[in-house]
Amino acid sequence: MRLLYADLQFQTRLLRLSVFLWAAAPLFDLMILALTAKLGTNPQETLLRATGTCCLVLLLVTLSVTPLRRLLGWAELNRLRRMLGLWSFAYAFVHLLGFWAFEHEFLWAAVFQDGLKRPFVTIGLMSFALLIPLAVTSNQLSMRWLGTRWKKIHRIIYAIVLLACLHFFLHRAGKNNYFDPSIALAITLVLLGLRWRWRRA
């Protein structure tokens, strides 16, 4: 039994390390490209597109943890959710930081004025603002202090993912390219539909 328990612990740690490295890889790649001046002819677009895409992908992966756990019966997947959520926030933060630096020269007033003018900026700022309480409370102390309220707070992720998809759609509207946002929205609706169905059952 001890050997089996030790083997399961090793597998769980290996899984966590693998997922951590997978989530971190794009950010480190961007850092290397930036330091070597290889972000391309439009570094702003490269950075914003990459960080925004990574944030949305990680949000979808975070949202898929519970359905996968129920379908596969793999309880260890629950331990990945907090880490994935925090990586989502990290990419969202870098995305906003890049937008603040490249488009508005580190002027927050200009960012908020832009948010009043362009809907996709408004939606993006809203989704980031909703991510903040999730990131701040993603620790054991907050879970103990909030009790049952913790789960209610973290259900905000449903709204965040939908807002992120809408942000993606509105951004691509200028280029008349809705393929990627449509895929993201379809995955989101499937994941939310599964949760709704299980909750009703």
How does pLDDT run across 24-67, given as a tens digit for each residue? 999 999 999 999 989 888 999 999 999 999 999 999 999 999 88
Q: Where are the domains of the chain?
A: 2-200
Task: Give the three-state DSSP class for 176.
Answer: coil
* Mean pLDDT within 174-185: 90
The confidence score (pLDDT) of residue 4 equals: 47
Least confident of 57-66, 130-139, 172-181: 172-181
The confidence score (pLDDT) of residue 21 equals: 96
* Mean pLDDT within 86-107: 95
Residue in the structure block whose two tokens are 């709704």: 196
Q: Tokens in use for 31?
A: 């850092």
The confidence score (pLDDT) of residue 37 equals: 87
Whether 96 and 130 have beta carbons less than 8 Å apart is answered as no
* Mean pLDDT within 60-88: 88
The confidence score (pLDDT) of residue 8 equals: 60
Residue 56 neighbours by CB distance under 10 Å: 25
Q: Which residue from 166, 138, 167, 159 is spatially nearest to 150, judged by alpha carbons?
A: 138
* Mean pLDDT within 80-89: 94
Whether 137 and 146 have beta carbons less than 8 Å apart is answered as yes
Q: At what angle do helices 156-173 and 119-136 cross, to 10 degrees?
A: 150
Q: Which residue from 196, 81, 93, 201 is spatially nearest to 150, judged by alpha carbons?
A: 81
Question: What is the DSSP code (8-state) at residue 39?
Answer: S
* Mean pLDDT within 117-131: 96
Distance CA 196, CA 188 (A): 12
The mean pLDDT value of the chain amounts to 91
